[in-house]
A and B are shown apart, each in its own frame.
Chain A
């Protein structure tokens, strides 16, 4: 129900007296209201700061934590107050929502923290009031974008970790996409870059007029015609390299259709196609004109540089993302050009020997004037023409200046995103390394504990307590859990060193792992490991399952903290011991220490 409506319900129901005389059928009896106590003041203790409010205030929103019976879970009977172990500053906003019906968003707090508090108290983010909604949404979107980049960077960062058994195709593709992964890829990268440059320079140079030998000083030919063979050879070499590169990429691409449709491959094709077309077109005068036009497309080879330059790619992305602004710019310019060209044409129509011969001819003047170029090849001569000409140049400045800041801000955003992505990738590596370290730390702690003989029977435990490193309750229980798993599977956790030792021992033919285990034990091992292994297998079947008591500290997280349901086959095997195996040990008095809940293992 919407905010505050609950307060008006008694009023609406009272006003229903107006229906009484008109009712055609007898009205239903009123629902029984529980003996409502008088409105009382509730005390909500949030991390020591006491908030007091009427119960009715909280009841206004029954589908939130404070408005429903869910708050009873936090009720402390001794002190008569509701205790929440949360941030008191944030709670202020939550409570104000109940009081005023509007949820405001704090400016100086992290938006994620605010979200978490809302989730805890059961408030839906849509409840944020209109005054703060826009800012809330913006900040959330910014956060989400940054986190999405994080994930992308993580996935991209996993790229270099290629599985060992990758095919040639995959290796090739990876070499193409990330040239920094291997030296061969890097060499290839630079070689193609060099040849692109050579090709472009050749295209440019062959049009420069170079002076012929001294005997014919009058004739100036472009270099391309003077040294046709040389340029042709250079062109052939470049095209061969480009073709080879394109075919290799096509072969290595994981999805050929997608590769064929991608922009870069299209550029590649456009770069090499004119050469092949030129090869097959005969030296016919009619067609050679078209052939010459095709040579223009060779300049597209310069776009191949975008694989080598990140800045170019960013520029491309920017233009793509600003497509709508660019479209608007184009459209409004076209409109303005047509309008002004028409006006100028008709203004200058009367003059003789005028340049404004037609409206399309006036287009050129309009464009040059609007972009403030002003070549001066077409100039109005009538007064009306000059007036309209000046209006044209002023409006041109405006129309062009409007969409440009949008494009610039887009470019800046994408550029900074890229920079941030690089920075985050570096930070991510450090973070992953630290996580891996923490993980191995847990295992090492357990192995260390085992080595120190901590698993011996409790009888000799007294003497051990001095040498065994004191562990927290959490560690103790965690180690017990791992120990139970070991017993279930009749295998033990080891570290890499021992594992590779054992592997090596097994591979030396003849000596089975059983015999080596006894002889190659480091002396620090506990007595369990010294037992021969064939008995280890059998013992699992008949070992008595220790009915240990484990305590789990609250919050007990969401793991069902039971020990592994060990193979009951073990319990069934030993008939005489069956009664003792699954004993439900001493839970007679579930005395609850303030922090722990006791369980027993199977």
Chain B
């Protein structure tokens, strides 16, 4: 157990300085301070791991199962893919989502849908995302959730998005359709 204690103590993260973060994001110093206070209160070690993230996110959707979608969200926030969200990731993500231009937001959404981050959204990826969103509704919905509802939704989405009908949606097609 002393080993695990040691492990825990070394996995601690200090964020970049306030000034660097201010340069990276569109938040003011005060906003960053208040965001950090909240973040630090929840995660004294300075990073959020995936399980904690899933737990927190699930609390907002008590009726359904939010873990799959939380997984995708986690990967979207975790820019450097190291399995934990640091304060920088958190704040940069929030800055895009809250203060970014429409273009940046759409890019972020594209990044969320593109599960393997290869620059293309395939039907399978879209289906996975759609299923995870529908999962959050839970069982008790009105009208009753059919098995193929996510698939239908994906088909409609692809029809509109995929201009050249090659089975994948690129970032340009995506931006074009949504603008």
Q: Are B177 and A125 in touch, CB under 8 angstroms?
A: no
Q: Which residues of B contact A488 (CB under 8 A)?
A: 133
B140 to chain A minimum Cβ distance, whole angstroms, is 4
Q: Which of A124, A517, A582, A592 contacts B143 (CB 8 A)?
A: A517
B17 within 8 A of A: yes
Q: Which of A440, A482, A498, A595 contacts B142 (CB 8 A)?
A: A498
**Residues 54-113 of B at the A interface (beta carbon under 8 Å):** 56-57, 60-63, 73, 77, 85, 90, 93-94, 97-99, 101-102, 105-106, 109, 112-113
> What string of 1s and 0s marks CB contacts (under 8 Å) between A64-76 and chain B?
0100111011110
Consensus secondary structure, chain A interface: helix
Q: Which residues of A contact B36 (CB under 8 A)?
A: 73-74
B7 to chain A minimum Cβ distance, whole angstroms, is 11
Q: Assuming A73-B32, A442-B62, is B143 touching A513 (CB within 8 A)?
A: yes
Q: Are A494 and B141 in touch, CB under 8 angstroms?
A: yes
A396 to chain B minimum Cβ distance, whole angstroms, is 40
**Residues 571-598 of A at the B interface (beta carbon under 8 Å):** 571-573, 578, 582, 584, 587, 590, 592, 595, 597-598
A124 to chain B minimum Cβ distance, whole angstroms, is 4
Complex: how many Å from CA A125 to CA B73?
A: 33
> What string of 1s and 0s marks CB contacts (under 8 Å) between A473-499 and chain B?
000001001100110110111111011
A533 within 8 A of B: yes
B39 within 8 A of A: yes
Complex: how many Å from CA A489 to CA B133?
A: 8
Q: Are B157 and A569 in touch, CB under 8 angstroms?
A: yes
A439 within 8 A of B: yes
Closest to B156 in A: A569
Q: Are B14 and A63 in touch, CB under 8 angstroms?
A: yes
Q: Assuming A489-B137, A554-B35, A558-B53, is B12 touching A122 (CB within 8 A)?
A: yes
Q: Are B102 and A562 in touch, CB under 8 angstroms?
A: no
Q: Are A443 and B9 in touch, CB under 8 angstroms?
A: no
Q: Which residues of B contact A557 (CB under 8 A)?
A: 38, 42, 56
A158 within 8 A of B: no
Q: Are B139 and A499 in touch, CB under 8 angstroms?
A: yes
A87 to chain B minimum Cβ distance, whole angstroms, is 13
Q: Which residues of B contact A514 (CB under 8 A)?
A: 143
Q: Which of A478, A506, A536 contacts B60 (CB 8 A)?
A: A478
B18 within 8 A of A: yes
A555 within 8 A of B: yes
B117 within 8 A of A: no
Q: Assuming A141-B1, A558-B39, A592-B31, is B141 touching A491 (CB within 8 A)?
A: yes
Q: How many A-B residue pairs have CB under 8 A?
A: 190
Q: Are B34 and A554 in touch, CB under 8 angstroms?
A: yes
Complex: how many Å from CA A598 to CA B57?
A: 20
Q: Are B38 and A584 in touch, CB under 8 angstroms?
A: no
Q: Which residues of B contact A529 (CB under 8 A)?
A: 142
Q: Are A559 and B57 in touch, CB under 8 angstroms?
A: yes
B151 within 8 A of A: no
> What string of 1s and 0s marks CB contacts (under 8 Å) between A51-82 and chain B?
00000000000010100111011110000000
Q: Assuming A502-B142, A569-B157, A572-B161, is B43 touching A558 (CB within 8 A)?
A: yes
A360 to chain B minimum Cβ distance, whole angstroms, is 48
A116 within 8 A of B: yes
Complex: how many Å from CA A489 to CA B153?
A: 8
Q: Which residues of A contact B42 (CB under 8 A)?
A: 555, 557-558
Q: Are B140 and A571 in touch, CB under 8 angstroms?
A: no
Q: Assuming A555-B39, A555-B42, A560-B97, is B18 touching A72 (CB within 8 A)?
A: yes
Q: Are A599 and B161 in touch, CB under 8 angstroms?
A: no
Complex: how many Å from CA A69 to CA B36?
A: 13
Complex: how many Å from CA A597 to CA B137?
A: 27
Complex: how many Å from CA A512 to CA B33?
A: 55
Q: Which of A74, A555, A568, A597 contacts B178 (CB 8 A)?
A: A568
Most buried by A among B57, B133, B140, B144: B140
Closest to A494 in B: B142
Q: Are B140 and A495 in touch, CB under 8 angstroms?
A: yes
B45 within 8 A of A: yes
A85 within 8 A of B: yes
Closest to B140 in A: A499
A240 within 8 A of B: no
Q: Which residues of A contact B38 (CB under 8 A)?
A: 554-557
Q: Which residues of B contact A69 (CB under 8 A)?
A: 14, 17-18
Q: Are A119 and B143 in touch, CB under 8 angstroms?
A: no
Q: Are A124 and B153 in touch, CB under 8 angstroms?
A: no
Complex: how many Å from CA A590 to CA B98?
A: 10
A75 to chain B minimum Cβ distance, whole angstroms, is 8
Complex: how many Å from CA A269 to CA B97?
A: 67
Q: Are B142 and A491 in touch, CB under 8 angstroms?
A: yes
Q: Which of A120, A443, A503, A513 contacts B62 (CB 8 A)?
A: A443
> What string of 1s and 0s marks CB contacts (under 8 Å) between B1-24 and chain A?
100011001101011011000000
Q: Mind listing 6 A-B residue pairs with CB under 8 Å?
A: A73-B40, A493-B141, A554-B34, A565-B109, A569-B159, A582-B105
Residues of A that sit less than 8 Å from B by CB: 63, 65, 68-70, 72-75, 85, 116, 119-120, 122, 124-126, 141, 144, 439-440, 442-443, 478, 481-482, 485-486, 488-489, 491-496, 498-499, 502-503, 506, 513-514, 517, 529, 533, 536, 541, 554-560, 562, 564-565, 567-569, 571-573, 578, 582, 584, 587, 590, 592, 595, 597-600, 602
Lowest 5 CB-CB distances: which A-B pairs, in order? A555-B38, A119-B44, A124-B9, A491-B141, A499-B140
Known: A119-B45, A141-B1, A584-B101. 9 other contacts (CB 8 A): A85-B37, A443-B62, A481-B60, A491-B137, A514-B143, A533-B143, A554-B37, A558-B39, A572-B160
